[in-house]
Amino acid sequence: MSFLKFKYFLSSLIYSLLFAFVANSYMLVRRLPLSLVVLVPVFLLANLLAGAKSYSSKNIKLKVCYRGTLLLTSLFLSVILSVGYHIIFALVTIMDIKATLGWSLLYCFIVHFIVFWNGIICVYLSSTQLGIKIRVLGVVFSMVPVVNLILLIVIIRTTAKECFFELEKEELNEKRKAEELCKTKYPILLVHGVFFRDSKKINYWGRIPGELEKNGATIFYGNQSSAASVVNCGAQLKERIEEVLRETGAEKVNIIAHSKGGLDSRWALTKLGMAPYVASLTTINTPHHGCLFADYLLNYVPKKVQDKVAGTYNLALKKIGEPNPSFFAAVNNLTDSYCKTFNKEVPDPEGVYCQSVGSVMPQSGGGQFPLNLSYMFVKMFDGYNDGLVGEPSFHWGERYMLLKPQKRRGISHADVIDLNRQNIDGFDVREFYVKLVRDLKERGF
């Protein structure tokens, strides 16, 4: 057990004893009402300051999540102690047992009710790993005996695991901060995939850019169109590369591109003369050899349905600032037939270190919605896949890395860029990118 976990469990035990004492102090208050002058302030301070000295972190959300988790753990232990106390209380109380026991139980319930909602609100507002389903069930069954305790255990396990993981990551980054593992010679340009835009409010790359910057990296974004042809997006990337070079004074950039962004980047390098200004190109789950599934959709889905979907998407993109979105142009450039032509016309760029990364899901339930649904359809045409692209299509460049799932939970097209901000057992997406960029640094890029 790490020292961090030891402090957590010790704090939980201390707070649980405190809450249990307050929750079961009805007889004390009844005989000595002035005891409330001490009990109430102590109880409120314990709720406000839980875990304040147990850790050090500048992340406010993490602090709140830790505090809430500590409160809920203490509550769980306190409830167990309180049940035992009231069983004994009921056995030894002879006179006025119903009234006395009833008031004591009500008093105990009120105390735990306050602690519960204090802790629940904290973790609900701050946890990244608690899903919507658990949040809803936790509220709906909060007053249902036994079921609420089972859900409480699930919530505590989830948020405690999250807190330990994030705090240990903070400690790791602090220890290696001086090493600047990701301080590459050239800045990093992150290029997004299809149907998304780079946004300051909701980062396409999740927690990855922040982790790289903590380890010394200089990050920029591609800012190309969400839905446009490879030709148009490639032209936009050419302008973006030139802009980054002017801004930084660097001679080159390192590109890390996801999905269709890899094809956009290859076009910019080979067809638009950007290869001399790019040190390395790393593609992440890019369909270099296309998707037969995309061919099927375009050939067999009724034209009216396609037009409806495309029209709705294009209209939505225009409303949020996309000048000329083209759903069909983007999807057509992901087909098997298009990529066969693309690979003949766009050879690998000379003088650029090229590598590719791919990931797969072991089964349809190996990822989050909607990729867990699309997995089986894609598998019919492209074999094992990440929910959108078949594994054989990822292969490209001098080096290829396949990220295999450690358990039933796979690594989907979205997981590989931390789009869902979900911690996956056996795969630390942020640490993977730290190692990826560190390797670029060691290669002199």
Q: What is the pLDDT of residues 427-442, one digit of tens each?
A: 999 999 999 999 999 9
Mean pLDDT of 295-322: 79
Q: What is the mean pLDDT of the chain?
A: 90
Q: Which residue has the higher pLDDT, 84 or 191?
A: 191
DSSP code of residue 172: H
Q: Is the pTM of this model over 0.85?
A: yes
pLDDT of 369-380, one tens digit each?
778 778 888 888
- Please answer whether residues 137 and 151 qualify as being in contact, where contact means their C-beta atoms are separated by less than 8 angstroms: yes
Q: Phi first, then psi: what are they for 144, rounded to 5°? A: -100, 115
Residue 290's alpha-carbon distances to 205, 231, 300, 416, in angstroms, are 23, 16, 17, 19
Token look-up 């269709």 returns: 260
Give residue 55's pLDDT.
64
Position 405 confidence tier, pLDDT thresholds 50, 70, 90:
confident
Of the candidate ranges 10-14, 101-105, 239-243, 366-370, the one whose mean pLDDT is the lowest: 366-370
Confidence category of residue 145, pLDDT binned at 50, 70, 90: confident
So what's the pLDDT on residue 371? Answer: 81
Our CA dihedral for 48, 53, 58, 61, rounded to 10 degrees, sits at -40
Residue that wins the pLDDT comparison between 141 and 430? 430
Enter the DSSP assignment of 402.
Answer: E
Phi, psi for 120 (deg, rounded to 5): -65, -45
Strand partners of residue 221: 190
Q: Rg (Cα) of the chain, in Å, rounded?
A: 28
Contact (Cβ atoms closer than 8 angstroms) between residue 314 and residue 327:
yes
Our CA angle for 379, 380, 384, nearest 5°, is: 25
Looking at this protein, which amino acid is placed at residue 192?
A: H
With cut-offs at 50, 70 and 90, classify the pLDDT of residue 227. confident
Sketch out the chain's domains with CATH numbers.
Answer: 3-173 (no CATH), 180-442 (3.40.50.1820)
Question: pLDDT tier at 78 (50, 70, 90 boundaries)?
Answer: very high
Contact between 68 and 123 (Cβ < 8 Å):
yes
307 Cα distance to chain centroid: 33
Size of the chain in residues: 445
What six digits make up the tokens of 220? Answer: 């920029």
Give the residue with greater pLDDT, 155 vs 4: 155
- End-to-end, the C-alpha distance of the chain in Å comes to 39
